[in-house]
Amino acid sequence: MPLAENQFCGSLRRHRANTVLHRLAVHRGGGAIVMVAILLITDTFRGNTTVSRWRDPAWLAWLAVPLYWVHQFEEYSLPVIGIDYSIQEMICQKIGFPPYPDCPIPLAFYPVVNIALMWFGAPLAAYLFRRNVLIGLSYLPIGPVNQVRARPR
């Protein structure tokens, strides 16, 4: 019986973590919509207005921010609407750890890393584009690489 209780507690913790992450993702999704609108309608984040937005590296650096926020919205909202997409389970499996509740990665790791890296790190990197192009564009490949690594094999 302790094993069943342990599995239930792990499932409950994972569900609670997914619910919290979904609430955070809703705000990220709304923020992404607003930021994409600002990017497409205004020249606020453009570095060079003489070329197309799609050829302006500064604008592309800023575009990476809401694109990744949309990816996070998708990632953390699917379990709430009934589609099983447990990012926590997938990461434990890919690293070679057992599934939760036995996975040694604490559930708090996911929101802490995502908030720090994506809410603060991505805009900061885009802001620093004018000082260092590589830092500015560093978030651009994260979305495509994440999609390739997350696909089932």
Q: How far apart are CA 21 and CA 85, in angstroms?
A: 13
- Model confidence pLDDT, tens digit, residues 11-56: 545 555 555 554 554 455 677 778 788 888 888 888 888 999 999 9
- Model confidence pLDDT, tens digit, residues 90-144: 888 888 999 888 889 888 887 788 778 888 898 999 999 989 999 998 888 877 7
- Model confidence pLDDT, tens digit, residues 129-142: 989 999 998 888 87
Q: How many domains, in total, are found in the chain?
A: 1
At residue 143's C-alpha, the angle toward residues 115 and 153, to 5°, is: 115
Range of the domain at 142: 2-150
| pTM of the predicted model as reported, rounded to 2 decimal places | 0.64
